[in-house]
């Protein structure tokens, strides 16, 4: 992707990544794009579970390949004493430690914060788990769907009277990775002042609840939170999706009154100009009339007309249309990297743009354990030592 630079923002920062699947790897990929040296510590033969999750590109999960560029991979069997010694040597030199174990598992493996902080008091330790390190759900298993269901987000999504809808994106997982990266950055800033690291407890259910800003603010204000009925979830005609003549869909986001008035004037519905916040019955009538108008022209024609009048709108793109979007292409939000192992890989850019510090893609996602020898040599192990460790099942 872009851009060689003399010194990246996090150049010299060493991150040990023991996480799997989505939130942790996203967190450490953000750090790696910012210049950190991320060492991905994986279980021998198995590795990150996302490596085997379909669909596959050649022999590796597509999602894994999207989340693990700019990282090095070492395999360590943490049930082996010598592997634990190796990890401790890595921790002694590291700045950040990221794990996504169930609460208590890291302690049982001897890699909990209480142990590692004694080896390196400057270590910033981030634990990402479903329900966090405390609370009645602490030991429960879960995934994005369960955290989002607990938060109310699933129950608030969908059409009125219909079945709750599962979002296409993993909201708590993605925001969890971003929150973890933000917390790590804050802890590193504090460390510059105090010389001490910290323990970060990221709960994906906490993240899901924290994402409910609008629904819960409506609830606390006494407004309706019925699925598909609130102003921002399908209950208002000015903030909605409409089918067009060609069977496609367009989104209208005339949220501010000035945009609503422009839309009413354009569609010759001036009688509704002062009824943007009408009663549910009137809203249904307005929605029906808007739907009739939008079925009269094709999607792209409506986009041209609405944009000419500066009314917020967008095509409801199919996933296959996104890589072709001219704005996505111009800003290189999706880009390709060439790899020997996987061919040309499409990647999603970390959406951070800095004038003096452009992000840097240095390497493709690693094959399982491909950097084990290099990393161990950096710790003083010889090639013969590495062969022995492999034979003994430590790596």
Instruction: Say whether pLDDT at 4 is over 90.
Output: no
Cβ atoms of 38 and 70 within 8 Å: the answer is yes
- 5-25 pLDDT, tens per residue? 446 899 999 999 999 999 999
Average pLDDT, the chain: 96
Mean pLDDT of 150-172: 96
- 32-61 pLDDT, tens per residue? 999 999 999 999 999 999 999 999 999 999
Distance CA 150, CA 215 (A): 14
**Would you state the structure tokens that stand for residue 325, as one six-digit string?**
């979007």
Mean pLDDT of 223-232: 91
Q: How many CB atoms lie within 10 A of CB 267?
A: 17
Mean pLDDT of 187-209: 98
Distance CA 15, CA 209 (A): 28
Instruction: Say whether pLDDT at 316 is over 90.
Output: yes
Instruction: Say whether pLDDT at 151 is over 50.
Output: yes
Cβ atoms of 72 and 374 within 8 Å: the answer is yes
**Would you state the structure tokens that stand for residue 71, as one six-digit string?**
């990282």
**Would you state the structure tokens that stand for residue 31, as one six-digit string?**
């750090």
Q: Where does the chain show beta strands of DSSP type E?
A: 14-17, 37-42, 56-57, 60-61, 71-75, 96-99, 124-129, 198-203, 239-243, 249-253, 313-315, 334-339, 343-348
**HSE toward the beta carbon, residue 358, CA cutoff 13 A:** 11
Q: What is the pTM of this model?
A: 0.95
What percent of the chain clears pLDDT 90, i.e. is strictly above it?
93
Among the listed residues 85, 40, 93, the one whose alpha carbon sits nearest the alpha carbon of residue 385: 85
Distance CA 209, CA 153 (A): 8
pLDDT of residue 3: 39
- 95-106 pLDDT, tens per residue? 999 999 999 999
Mean pLDDT of 249-256: 98
Which class does domain 14-211+326-391 fall in? alpha beta
Instruction: Say whether pLDDT at 1 is over 60.
Output: no
What residues contact residue 250 under an 8 Å CB cut-off, 6+ apart? Answer: 241, 242, 244, 294, 299, 302, 303, 306, 313, 314, 315, 316
The band of 356, judged by pLDDT with boundaries at 50, 70 and 90, is: confident
The full set of domain ranges for the chain reads 14-211+326-391, 239-243+249-315
Cβ atoms of 286 and 260 within 8 Å: the answer is no
Among the listed residues 263, 267, 241, the one whose alpha carbon sits nearest the alpha carbon of residue 254: 263
């Amino acid at each position: 992707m872009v851009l060689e630079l003399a010194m990246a923002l996090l150049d010299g920062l060493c991150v040990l990544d023991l996480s799997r699947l989505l939130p942790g790897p996203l967190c450490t990929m953000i750090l790696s794009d910012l210049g950190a040296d991320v060492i991905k510590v994986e279980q021998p033969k198995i590795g990150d579970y996302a490596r085997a999750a379909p669909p596959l590109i050649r022999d590796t999960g597509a999602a894994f390949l999207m989340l693990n560029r700019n990282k090095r991979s070492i395999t360590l069997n943490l049930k082996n004493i010598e592997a634990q010694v190796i990890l401790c040597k890595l921790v002694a030199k590291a700045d950040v430690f990221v794990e996504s174990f169930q609460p208590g598992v890291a302690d049982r493996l001897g890699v909990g914060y209480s142990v590692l902080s004694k080896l390196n008091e400057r270590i910033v330790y981030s634990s990402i788990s479903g329900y966090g390190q405390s609370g009645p759900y602490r030991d429960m298993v879960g995934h994005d769907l369960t955290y989002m269901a607990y938060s109310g987000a699933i129950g608030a999504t969908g059409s009125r009277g219909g079945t709750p809808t599962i979002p296409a994106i993993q909201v708590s997982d993605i925001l969890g990775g971003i929150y973890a990266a933000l917390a790590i950055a804050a802890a590193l800033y504090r460390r510059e002042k105090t010389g001490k690291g910290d323990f970060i407890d990221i709960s994906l259910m906490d993240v899901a609840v924290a994402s409910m800003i609008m629904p819960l603010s409506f609830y606390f204000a006494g407004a309706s939170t019925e699925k598909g009925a609130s102003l921002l979830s399908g209950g208002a005609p000015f903030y909605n999706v409409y089918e067009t003549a060609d069977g496609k869909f367009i989104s209208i986001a005339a949220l501010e009154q000035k945009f609503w008035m422009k839309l009413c004037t354009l569609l010759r519905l001036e009688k509704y100009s002062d009824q943007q916040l009408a009663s549910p019955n009137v809203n249904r009538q307005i929605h029906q009339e808007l739907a009739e108008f939008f079925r009269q022209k094709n999607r792209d024609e409506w986009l041209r007309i609405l944009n000419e009048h500066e009314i917020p709108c967008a095509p409801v793109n199919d996933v296959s249309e996104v890589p072709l979007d001219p704005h996505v292409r111009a800003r290189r939000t999706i880009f390709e990297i060439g790899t020997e192992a996987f061919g040309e890989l499409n990647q999603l850019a970390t959406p951070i743009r800095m004038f003096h510090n452009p992000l840097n893609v240095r390497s493709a996602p690693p094959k399982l354990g491909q950097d084990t020898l290099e990393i161990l040599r950096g710790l003083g192990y010889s090639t013969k030592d590495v062969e022995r460790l492999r034979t003994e099942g430590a790596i």
